[in-house]
Amino acid sequence: MTVFVCIDDRGGMLFNHRRQSRDRVQIADMLALVGGGRLLCDPYSATLFPQGGPIFDEGFLEKAEEGDFCFVENRPLAPHAGRISTLVVYRWNRTYPRDVLLDLPLPGDFRLTETVELAGHSHETITRERYER
């Protein structure tokens, strides 16, 4: 499966049960990468997407199949690391308060294969990194 995450400069994903940031350019970029594939997310992420987009399910990481895409904002990834073939990291290039961190070391078992700079809406520059197993 391919997993998408958004992190700050210290690997933070959430603070006090709130996403650190949201950016419509990042969401559009992610949906373009998914194309016609199946995107699964936690119901927490529903407000970020247009209706008819992703499948929202509490157990989405357990139910994801090979070839699926998952957007993760509020879940640990380490228990699913062996099933992740591609990790796409959107870096906000800022430091925010955080209490939920990305729990996979980078590059770890992955290798960086692509870096792209996006002109974001809420962030001047968002860096998209693609890591492959």
Amino acid of residue 23:
D
Average pLDDT of the residues in 116-129: 92
Across all residues in the chain, what is the average pLDDT?
93
Confidence of residue 124 (pLDDT cuts 50, 70, 90): confident
Q: Mind listing the pLDDT tens digit for each residue in 1-17?
A: 999 999 999 999 999 88
Residue 122 is predicted with a pLDDT of 82
Over its C-alpha atoms, the chain yields an Rg (Å, rounded) of 14
Amino acid of residue 124:
E
- Give the pTM: 0.94
H/E run at residue 52: none
Q: Which residues contact 23 (CB under 8 A, 6 or more apart)?
A: 120, 121, 122, 123, 126
Q: Mind listing the pLDDT tens digit for each residue in 25-47?
A: 999 999 999 999 999 999 999 99
Going along the chain from its start, the domains and CATH numbers come out as: 2-132 (3.40.430.10)
Percent with pLDDT over 90 in the chain:
80
* DSSP symbols for 67-126: T-EEE-SSS--GGGGGG-SEEEEEE-SS----SEE--S-SSTT-EEEEEEEE--SSSS-E
Residue 101 is predicted with a pLDDT of 94
In 3-state terms, what secondary structure has residue 130?
A: strand
Q: Which residues contact 105 (CB under 8 A, 6 or more apart)?
A: none
Place of tokens 């925010």: 96
Tell me how far apart the alpha carbons of residues 107 and 99 are, in angstroms, rounded to a whole number. Answer: 21
